[in-house]
Structure formats: structure tokens, C-alpha cells
Amino acid sequence: MRNGHFGLLSVFLVAAVAGSACSNGNGNGNGTPGGVAGTPPTAGGSSNSGGGGASSGGAGPTCTGLTPCGGSVVGVWNVSSSCLKLSGDMDVSLASLGCPSVPVVGSLTTTGSFIANADGTFTDNTRTTGTATFPLAPACLSISSVQRTCEQVSSIFQAVGWTNSTCTSTNGQCTCVVTADQPGGLGTLSEVETTKGQYSTSGNLLTTDDTVTPYCVAADKLTISPQFPALTGTVVFTKDSAAAGAGGAGGTGAGGSGDTAGTSAGGTSAGGTAGTGVGGTSQGGGAGSGGSGGQTPVAALPCDIYAAASASCVAAHSTVRALLRAYAGNLYQVKRASDGTTKDIPVLSPGGFANAAVQDTFCMGTTCTIMKVYDQSGHGNAVEAEIPGLVLGNGANAHEGYKNNTAANAAKESLMVGGHKVYALYTNQAQAYWRDGSSTGMPLGASPQSVYVVTSGKHFSNGCCYDYGNGEVSRLYVPGNSMDALYFGNGTQWGSGNGSGPWVMADLEGGVFSGLTTGKNEMLISQPFTYVTAMEKNNGMTELALKAADATAATLNTYYKGRLPNGKSPGQKQGSIVLGSGGDCCYSNANASYGTFYEGAIVAGYPSDATDAAVHANIVSTGYGK
């Protein structure tokens, strides 16, 4: 599906040196902000066109400017006041609507505390709440170039940071009310709720895992200016002098109790069986070391299983493990921020798991991002980050990534799989990976194709569109049947399923299909599991199938198997590979979607149900989370 253009609703714009600050400590404004009760101005114009309601705000909070000055943020900080006003044009382009911005009125309030430890870790106990109102002109009522009703666009705003959103049409005017209730974020609304992690300061900017905020520390006051479209104002914190020393000590203590590694842990396991201790770290004890070591022959892996069924993997990607038992190469490549050098992360042994220790050593003391995920199929279909400065595509379709896009943090999620520490490809908004595989084996036209992934039912979005599969080679919207990709998320702008999601669906361009239609499929059950197997199969002419399961449970469930949706035959696949976005992303725009990718493959062919079950059984035997 098509993604939003021109800007990012949840990107934290750091170019502005001055934000706005609250002129006094009342700063609530979260009741009925000035202008909200009135008629919103007409959508689509400039920030001042449409009226004083959006920009003057009447009874809304009055805020003054902040001059960022930097300073040390170490300590325990309690919110003493906040004044955050929404007015003017709010960028909604990331929501993939037909208009790039809407005139908004509203306000937010931040309460709680923020703890910054001397070791660079933080605990964000803030909470941001509030309400905003804006109109949607008729030109806005489309998502990904597909016409939608006022009510159908409602949920898209939850993908860009709002907790709830309702759009209603009255006398031909569509009006939306959105509310925020977000833990963490330091006053910035985001699709990601991060309450613990790493922080850093540079100049006048405070950077946490998911926010970049101008700030100033003066005596016992910390003032920040959250960055969000159409938002002005500040949050003021007062230092808790009684807790500050304890906070610092807590940070240090946490580092020690976190078993700075293996020293204390090694001491503990030394009492166990071992000396061979490395296996001891997995707590698998004797059983772990007995089963590892690479001396036991590797069983058939997913792409071996497909090949035995005459359905070859043409793209096979994973940051976790090999997907063919003979594969002995690299899984992915990381780049470290400190000096810009890259490192390939290999498997431990043929058919084995990722050697995460290589990443840990290379990235020690700095931040690493995942630049590419290698293709294990032999077709050379590595997917690479769609970021500025990196040109992807061929000929007239060669473009660098969109200006605001970034590569995924390589250490954002670590996990245990089969007794081994490994890392996920954990993407946020404005992060996606791509390759033109049209001349390197990807199915084209009406050729049959199957896709499987192992993903997460804990990190997903309703933004357009977290896909893995076959998309446009131009990275522009092409009407028709130009896509064939597996979608995973809880978007309801097109198809949906039973419960609140996430669901596995098919992105066939022009809509995300829950089965025969883009409507609700009550047979499509939510997949809220930590690790999820998801499959989408399309024979290109007559049949579509959707399957999913807990990746640690035996039964693979079929939620749809039947004829292709009307108008979706024959297929018109173009042969690019999308991972994390829809098909028309991400050189002229960015994606509102996010998710977690552990492994997956694109297969030329339409495997049998028995083959699908065998692939899932292998995933279960791999031991995700163990």
C-alpha cells in the first residue's frame, strides 16, 4: 500500500532552536482548549487561513519561548508545570491521507517524573494526556490513494501517536477528535511508548531512545520543549534534591546488579556443571552445552523444506539464524555511530544461529544500526535500509531514501532462541528495507508466490503498512494488482479480523485484504503472542491463503483459503522486496508502520498445506524465547 508523503508526524524535529514555554505554572489546558468547542476552520489551507479558531485559541494556554542551554540532567526530576498547546497546521502526511496537513486546536498536559542516571540510563515516569480537534476536507478522505469515508479514516491517527481517535461526518463536514494518554515520551506523542532505556546529551539536545528534545538546566529547573507538529510549549521539572543522590547511586547499583557481565554470573554458574561455562550462561546447563557445539547434524530448515517440495526460496532473510542448513555466510550488517564503519554478523556454524557476540564487541560503547539483511537463498536479494545517502533501485528508479528515514537500532531487541542470544530487526516509523529483485528471481506477473515471517504480536501498528513481500520497483503507487505481500498489524482502514489484532492479511495494492474482501473477517483471529508465525500464499490466478500461529505452539491455523478478491486476478507482481513498509515507500515519503522481523522468506511457488505445517514445525523446534 501507499504510505504518507512529505513529512513525519512523529519525527522529532531538532532544527528549531527555540520552542515555546509556559508563561506560568497552571499550564493544564487539557479540559476544553480554546477554539475546540467552536467550529474548526476549513481543512487544507495555510496555518492562518481558516481562521482564528485554529490559531488564536481563545481561552487556550499562553506560552512563552524557551532558549535551550543544555546542562547536566543527571538526577531525579519531578514535573512542576507544563504548558503544551496545539494550534495551526498539523502535519498528517505520515497517515497517508489525501492532504498533508490539517488545522488543529487542542492542548496536552505532562505530569510525572524523569530519572537520568549517571551511567546513561533513564526511567521516564511521565504521562502526557490531552485532546485535539480538526476537520478533514473532502480532499483528505483517502488513504494510500484509496477513497475512504470519514469514519473509515478514524483509526489511522492512532498510528501516529494518538491513543484514541474518532471522526464523524455531520452535514457533509468530517470532524475528528483525538485524545492522548501516553506513558513516557517526555511530552512528545509517539507510536512507541518507551519508559526505560539510554539517553545522551549533546549541545542543547536531550536524546532518549525515541525522542530528541531541546532543553535547558538552570539551577534546580530542567525545562524541555517537546517536538511535535503544531505543538508549542514546555514542560518544567524541579530537581528532587532528596532523591538525587539516591538516583545517582541507583544508576550505579543497577549497573552492578545487572551482572556486569559474566563476572558475577560466571561465579554463580561455576558452581554448576561447568567450567564450560559459556553454555552455562544460557542457563541451559548441561542440556544446553550437550545440544550445541555443532556436532549434531542440522535438520532441514525452512528453505530446505520448501526446496524439497519444489518451491524455492528466492529471498531468505533473518537476523536470528540460518534458513538453510548449508548456509554459512553473513546474516546482516551493522554500522556503528562512533566512526561509521560496518561489520557483517555471521552465523556461528553452517545452519546455525547468529554470532551476536560479534555485534556486541563491535558496537561496545556506541550505537549500531542495521544497514542490510543478507539474502541466504543465493539470489543476492539482500534488503537495505532506505535512508538518505544510500541509493537503491535501478536506472530511472534509483533513488536514495527519504530525508527523515533512519536505519533500525541493532540492539533495540535482544532475545534468546534455542539457547542463543540473538537480535531482532526492530523497526519504528520511518524505518524500512528494500531491494529491486525483479531481475534476481522474484516472482513476476501472475506467478505463484508464498511468504512466511516470524514476527511479534507485541510490537505492531495500525499504520500503513508493515509488509514483507513483493512490491513496486518504482517505489511509487501503481494501481491494480502490483503488490503481493504479507501484512501484519491491526490497521482497520481496510480489512480487519476478530478482536483487536494484530492480524495477518494480504496487501495486494489498493487495499489490505482479510480474505475475499477488505472488510472484516470474523474467522481471522488476533495474534497477540510474543512470537508469531504468519504466512500468505497467492497462486496468482485463483487462490489466496492466510495462516498464523503462536511460533512456540504446534498448531498452524488457516484463517482464509479461497478465491482471490474480485479484481485481483491475474496478479501483476513487479518484483521488488519490501520489508517494513508498503510498496510505494520510501524515497519520496516515509512509512507510518512499524514491527519486528526475526526471519522470513519469499518463495517462488504455491506450497502445499503439509509444507506450510512443516515450516511452522521447524520454527517451533527452533525455540523462540528459550
The letter for the amino acid at 264 is S
Q: What was the pLDDT predicted at 1?
A: 60
Return the SS3 of 446: coil
Average pLDDT over residues 247-253: 39
User: In terms of Cα–Cα distance, which of 500, 594, 597 is closest to 192?
Assistant: 594
Q: What was the pLDDT predicted at 64?
A: 74
Does residue 465 have a cis peptide bond before it, meaning omega lies within 30 degrees of 0? yes
**Is residue 464 over pLDDT 90?**
no
For the 302-318+392-408+424-622 domain, the top CATH level (class) is mainly beta
**Is residue 307 over pLDDT 80?**
yes
Return the SS3 of 472: coil
Lowest mean pLDDT among 147-156, 249-258, 436-445: 249-258
At 193-229, the pLDDT tens digits run 788 988 999 999 999 877 889 999 999 999 999 988 8
CA–CA distances in Å: residue 166 to residues 150, 153, 175: 9, 9, 8
Question: For residue 430, is it left (φ>0), alpha (ψ between -120 and 50) or beta?
Answer: left
At 390-413, the pLDDT tens digits run 999 999 999 999 888 999 999 999
Please answer whether residues 40 and 105 qualify as being in contact, where contact means their C-beta atoms are separated by less than 8 angstroms.
yes
Please answer whether residues 571 and 541 qualify as being in contact, where contact means their C-beta atoms are separated by less than 8 angstroms.
yes
Q: What was the pLDDT predicted at 411?
A: 96
What are the counts of helices (DSSP H) followed by strands (DSSP E) for the chain?
8, 41
**Could you give the residue numbers annotated as active site?**
509, 584
Return the SS3 of 616: helix
Please answer whether residues 606 and 450 qualify as being in contact, where contact means their C-beta atoms are separated by less than 8 angstroms.
yes
Q: What was the pLDDT predicted at 209?
A: 79
Give the C-alpha separation, 454 to 452, whole Å. 7
Phi–psi pair at 23, nearest 5 degrees: -80, -15
Phi–psi pair at 165, nearest 5 degrees: -150, 140
User: In terms of Cα–Cα distance, which of 463, 469, 508, 475 is closest to 94?
Assistant: 463
Domain limits, the chain: 19-252, 302-318+392-408+424-622
Q: What was the pLDDT predicted at 60?
A: 53
Higher pLDDT pick, 179 / 15: 179
Cβ-proximal residues to 358 (8 Å cutoff; 6+ apart), any chain: 343, 345, 346
Task: Give strand pairing partners of 452.
Answer: 535, 601
Task: Give strand pairing partners of 86.
Answer: 106, 231
User: In terms of Cα–Cα distance, which of 323, 407, 408, 410 is closest to 361?
Assistant: 410
Please answer whether residues 597 and 424 qualify as being in contact, where contact means their C-beta atoms are separated by less than 8 angstroms.
yes
Please answer whether residues 605 and 310 qualify as being in contact, where contact means their C-beta atoms are separated by less than 8 angstroms.
yes
Mean pLDDT of the chain: 84
Lowest mean pLDDT among 9-13, 243-247, 395-399: 9-13
The pTM score is: 0.75
Please answer whether residues 538 and 607 qualify as being in contact, where contact means their C-beta atoms are separated by less than 8 angstroms.
no
**Quick one: which H or E segment has residue 383?**
strand 383-385
In this structure, is the dihedral angle defined by the CA atoms of residues 263, 264, 267 and 272, taken in order, positive or negative? negative
CA–CA distances in Å: residue 237 to residues 112, 201, 223, 412: 9, 17, 6, 28
